[in-house]
């Protein structure tokens, strides 16, 4: 089954899709699974494992979980209201579980940070246990945040887990199958992806949803370019998108004479989004929060320099979805599992494919662009300083956006034929991630995360 566009692109809150949105979603699911049993719950214990614990404080995993236990999902969360809610919980030692059940909650005792323990299946494990007034368990459920805001529970981790069937007309699992089916059906990659979406919902609902995603990306760029001040977390990183914008437009004559001035704008747009993400603002997983700036920046580049209208934006996002789904199915989009090649690398690959599509590229050139983009992100580690999605993450999105544009231009310079296939690069990325030492996979135990503070 292909991944839907609304699974890869979700409107939510920062700073992390796997460490913020995922735990929030898991908490909501735990509350929903309690059903009528919620009335028996007097206390909830949350156990965070491995990567969720090691970088959870920097990724707001604790506060996201508190919000989720109130029954608030990421797409519904208001960042400002969430701050007030968390403050009330901390001051009172109480929370409204699911918004209906008043229970005791002391985050110092009820959130367990088990960074040295890892559950089977995935490093991002989270376990909820509800207790009654006698201290007896009412319910225990385990979830895994597998990247991009995707969450699976323990029942879905087995080979016999049920799979939702949408009877898609083009159920591809590899890039080779995608290209073959598109050729046989006389379709573009975007057209094929849209046909699969039609099996899930009416066309007008899909089109309206795509428009909401594009609008949310634009709004995030605009807000990011207007905000100033210090990002939360203690690194004292100053927001700079507003300054970059002012500097760009203050020297228009020099900019017009600079053949690389376009890169300044692409950098600005990507940085604006990821500063919003780092501040806990509203963003779109693309396909993750840590890589949320790449696709919006490249999409705005396409609009400004190639006249991309609403239809072209839909083509971009549908094409990107088809490519992103291949990584989701055959490798990973989780930095805790494969390093940042699974986040920035995948977003770069998706953006390159989408841009190639709206610049008139053939299906073969689109596949080539996606392959080029990932080929030059292989081995990219995830080692955020302080466990925060700030350094090197914010600038890394700017670099990824520029690299995506270059990959598209390289692919459009050829006819789509090339030696290394996208499927081969995806498999290489998966193997590279499996070989990568755990300290370079969103644990903040190696790389920049330890070398910079130590120096």
Where does the pLDDT of residue 167 fall: very low under 50, low under 70, confident under 90, or very high at 90 and above? confident
List pLDDT tens digits, range 12-22: 999 999 999 99
Q: What is the CATH number of the domain that holds 31?
A: 3.30.1330.90
Report d(CA 119, CA 233) in Å as an integer: 27
Do 79 and 210 share a structural domain?
no
Mean pLDDT on 239-250: 95
**pLDDT reported for residue 158:** 59
141 and 213 share one domain: no
Q: Does residue 369 register a pLDDT over 60?
A: yes
Q: For the chain, what is the mean pLDDT?
A: 95
Q: Are 341 and 414 contained in the same domain?
A: yes
Per-residue pLDDT tens digits for 188-232: 999 999 999 999 999 999 999 999 999 999 999 999 999 999 999
The pLDDT score that the predictor gives to residue 360 is 97
What is the per-residue pLDDT for 241? 98
Asked if the structure places residue 4 within a domain, the reply is: no
* Structural domain boundaries, residue 58: 14-158
Same domain assignment for residues 300 and 325: yes
Both 295 and 417 in one domain: the answer is: yes
Per-residue pLDDT at 451 = 87
The b/e string for 18-52 (b: 16+ C-beta within 10 A; e otherwise) is: bbbbbbbbbbbbbbeebeeebeebbbbbbbbbbbb
Sort 334 into a burial class: Cβ within 10 Å, 0-12 / 13-18 / 19+: buried
Kindly state whether residues 317 and 288 are assigned to the same domain. Answer: yes
Say yes or no: 233 and 124 in one domain: no
Are 355 and 385 within 8 A, CB to CB?
A: no
The domain total for the chain is 2
pTM of the model: 0.92
Query: What is the 3-state composition of the chain as percent helix, strand, coil, each rounded to the nearest 5?
Result: 55, 10, 30
The confidence score (pLDDT) of residue 254 equals 76
Checking if the pLDDT of 166 tops 80, the result is no
Mean local confidence (pLDDT), 413-439: 97
Q: Which pLDDT belongs to residue 165?
A: 60
Q: What is the mean pLDDT of residues 262-285?
A: 97
The pLDDT assigned to 290 comes to 96
Regarding whether 203 and 69 lie in a shared domain, the answer is: no
Least confident of 114-128, 241-255, 311-325: 241-255
């Amino acid at each position: 089954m292909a991944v839907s566009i609304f699974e890869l692109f979700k409107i939510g809150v920062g700073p992390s899709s796997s460490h913020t949105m995922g735990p929030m979603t898991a908490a909501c699911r735990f509350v929903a699974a309690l059903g009528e049993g919620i009335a028996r719950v007097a206390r909830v214990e949350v156990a965070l494992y491995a990567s969720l614990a090691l970088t959870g404080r920097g990724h707001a995993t604790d506060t996201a979980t508190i919000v989720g236990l109130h029954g608030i999902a990421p797409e519904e969360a208001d960042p400002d209201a969430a701050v007030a809610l968390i403050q009330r919980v901390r001051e009172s030692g109480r929370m409204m579980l699911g918004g209906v059940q008043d229970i005791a909650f002391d985050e110092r005792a009820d959130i367990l940070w088990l960074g040295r323990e890892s559950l089977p299946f995935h490093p991002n494990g989270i376990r909820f246990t509800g207790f009654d007034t006698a201290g007896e368990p009412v319910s225990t459920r385990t979830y895994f945040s597998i990247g991009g805001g995707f969450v699976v529970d323990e029942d879905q981790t087995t080979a016999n887990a049920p799979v939702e069937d949408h009877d898609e007309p083009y159920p591809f699992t590899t890039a080779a199958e995608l290209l073959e089916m598109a050729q046989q059906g006389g379709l573009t990659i975007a057209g094929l992806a849209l046909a699969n979406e039609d099996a899930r919902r009416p066309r007008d609902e899909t089109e309206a949803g795509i428009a909401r995603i594009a609008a949310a990306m634009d709004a995030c760029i605009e807000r990011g370019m207007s905000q100033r001040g210090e990002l939360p977390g203690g690194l004292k990183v100053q927001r700079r998108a507003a300054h970059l914008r002012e500097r760009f437009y203050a020297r228009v004559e020099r900019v017009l004479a600079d053949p690389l001035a376009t890169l300044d704008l692409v950098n600005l747009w990507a940085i604006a989004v990821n500063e919003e993400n780092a501040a806990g603002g509203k963003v779109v997983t693309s396909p993750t929060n840590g890589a949320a700036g790449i696709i919006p920046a490249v999409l705005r580049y396409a609009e400004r320099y190639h006249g991309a209208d609403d239809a072209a934006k839909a083509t971009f996002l549908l094409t990107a979805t088809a490519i992103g789904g291949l990584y989701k199915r055959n490798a990973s989009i989780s930095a805790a599992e494969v390093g940042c090649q699974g986040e920035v690398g995948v977003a770069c690959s998706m953006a390159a494919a989408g841009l190639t599509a709206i610049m008139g590229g053939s299906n073969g050139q689109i596949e080539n662009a996606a392959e080029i983009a990932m080929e030059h992100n292989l081995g990219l580690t995830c080692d955020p300083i302080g466990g925060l999605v700030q350094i090197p993450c914010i600038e890394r999105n700017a670099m990824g956006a520029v690299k995506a544009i270059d990959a598209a231009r390289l692919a459009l310079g050829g006819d789509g034929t090339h030696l290394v296939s996208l499927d081969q690069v995806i498999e290489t990325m998966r193997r590279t991630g499996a070989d990568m030492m755990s300290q370079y996979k969103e644990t903040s135990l190696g790389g920049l995360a330890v070398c910079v503070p130590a120096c």
